Structures are given as structure tokens and as C-alpha cells.
Amino acid sequence: MKTVFSGIQPTGKVHLGNLLGAINNWVSLSNEESKNYFCVVDLHSLTTHPDPSKMQENIQETIKVLVSSGINQKNSKIYIQSNVPEHVQLSWILSNFCQIGELQRMTQFKEKSDQLGSHAGILTYPILMAADILIHKANEVPVGDDQTQHLELTRNIVERFNNAYTEYFPLPEKTSGKAGARLMSLRHPDNKMSKSNDDLNGTIYFDDSKDEIIKKFKSSVTDSENEIKFDIENKKGISNLIDIYSTLHDMSHEDVEIKFKNSSYGEFKIEVGETVVSYLEPLREKYESLSDGDISSLIRDHLDDVKDSAKKTMDEVSAIVGV
């Protein structure tokens, strides 16, 4: 049976990019025959020096969204990274199989060290991510396109470790949805949609009201033509809207183009906005129905299994490396 692992940082409100690029895939995989671990990676988030007084609230909110999105909990464990210290222990062992040059070449390292200064946490971030994946010996990792490089690095680490000792870790594969793997900001379609976009109107947050969502889509940046055509090079804004619409209606880009052949940009923007509103509405209702107590007991219920799995791997790895 395959094992799936993925993670999300509790660094603010969950947005449409997280949902379409990653979490929706987690939901699909959770309905397959597999063992799944979905982790709120609070230790990773420390690289951006978040406000400690907001941390617990952000973790709770993130877990509530995961539950509301419909992850099947029969075969899925949801947990908080810092509750399982084996992630960090394994990370240290793996760091001996990773080159400093490789870490310096990571796009996210370059971007983040420009913003935050290059401390060692941003540099070694991908090794902790490799440890997250390998602590349960996962073979499948559903993530958005921005994580491709990190997954490649994890695979390199696995190959080196296995060559040095014994064929122990599986080679994990990245999985992405067919569309929506890289949603762009509605205001700056050259940049990906993110939790911390400078222009908040570029990001659709999980808890935006209907009016806010429609307003953000109406004011989304497109181009001066009036042709609804998927062209990622020359028409980034409209392509992003087509991507969102096609993902949520399970249609091809071509079918969306045909459907809106005679529509104006203004009409199309409202259609996409309304699609997103209808998609988020049931998720938000479920979210509102969950109490903090529900989340605390979920975490308690899931943690024993997670700890057993992590401890087993760590015991085996310790024996392999001789410590």
C-alpha cells in the first residue's frame, strides 16, 4: 500500500492556491487505498519569524480548513510537525547527504533570503522537508508546482543515503492536479498567489466574503485584448482565470474558451468569481461548524499512530547508521 505525505505552513490564512494546488489532491488521495499523513509544518514556518502570539490560532485554523475540505480521516492522519521530534532528528542525519551548493541553488532560498536575509534555517529548510516526507517512508507527495525543486532534492538525498547504506527509503514521487498546480496572483499574474502577497486583492482567502471574492475577480488584472484564450506566455491574467474555472468545473482549457467565446472579460470575471463562491461556501459552512475542541480531540486521536510510525523509522535509521 502506498504512503502519502504532504505539508502546509501555518503562516496565515489558507488561500485558493493552496486548495486547488494541493489540498484538493489530498482529498482525492485520501479516498484511495493508501496511508496518508497531512502535516501542519509549524517548524518550517519559523523561517519567516512569525508572531508567536498568533501561532496556535493559525495552526488551529489550518487544521480546520483541512478537515472542512473533506479529507477522509479513515486512512489519513492530520498532525502538527513539532509534536513529532523525529522529523528534526532525521533531518540532521539527512543533512549529511546534501550539498551546500544544492541548497543555495533552490529558487525559494534565493527568493526568501532576498526578503529575510540568508539565515541557516532558510538554507536547510528543504532538508527538514525531506525528513518530513521520509519519516513515514512516503512514496507520494501531492504538492503545487512551486515545490518541484524541493522534491528533486529529496530524491537526491534518498539515492545518496541508500547508496551509502542500504536500499531503505523509497524514492518519493511528486503528484499535482491536472490544473491549478500554480495559481497566480489576481493582481500580479507574474507572481504566484500566496499567503503574503503584498497586494491582498491578488489572493482569494478561504474566509473571504462573497462580495470580497466577486470584487477581487472584477478587479483582476488581465490584458488589453478581449479574447478569452489560454496563452500562458502572453495572456497570464486571463490564463489564470481560465485555469481556476476549468479546475473547478473539471473542464479542459479549450472547452472553457469555447463556452466563453462570445463573452467579455467583465462577464467572464464574474462567472469565475461566482464559481469560486459556490466552491467555497460548503467548505466554509463545515468550517464554522467545527469547534476548537473538535480540533484538539482530532489531534489527540491521530497522534499516537503518527508517533509510532515516526519512531519505527527513526529506530531503523539509527540502527542503519550505527547510532
Q: Write out the residues near ligand TRP by the rule CB under 6 A.
A: 5-7, 9, 41, 44, 129, 132-133, 141, 143, 147, 150
- Using CB distances below 5 to 8 A depending on partner kind, what does residue 132 bind out of ligand TRP, ligand AMP, none? ligand TRP
**Contact status: 40 vs ligand AMP (CB under 6 A):** no
Catalytic site residue 236? no
Q: Which is nearer to ligand AMP, 162 or 201 (CB)?
A: 201
Q: Choose, by CB under 6 A, the member of 39, 59, 143, 248 that binds ligand AMP.
A: 143
Dihedrals φ, ψ of 89, to 5°? -60, -45
Give residue 91's Cα distance to chain centre.
Answer: 20
- Using CB distances below 5 to 8 A depending on partner kind, what does residue 129 bind out of ligand AMP, ligand TRP, none? ligand TRP
Catalytic site residue 112? yes
Can you tell me the distance from the alpha carbon of 2 to that of 24, in angstroms, rounded to the nearest whole number? Answer: 18
Q: Which is nearer to ligand TRP, 147 or 309 (CB)?
A: 147
Residue 28 neighbours by CB under 8 Å, 6+ apart: none
Residue at grid coordinates 484538493: 24
Q: Considering the candidates 77, 174, 192, 236, report the single residue annotated as catalytic.
A: 192
Q: Specify whether the CB–CB gap between 42 and 82 falls below 8 A.
A: yes
Q: Grid coordinates standing for 172?
A: 518519493
Q: Specify whether the CB–CB gap between 62 and 281 falls below 8 A.
A: no
**Contact status: 195 vs ligand AMP (CB under 6 A):** yes
- Helical H runs in 117-183? 120-134, 148-164
> Which residues in this chain contact ligand AMP in the complex, by CB under 6 A?
8-9, 17-18, 21-22, 143-144, 146-147, 181-183, 192-195
| Residues recognised as catalytic | 112, 192, 195
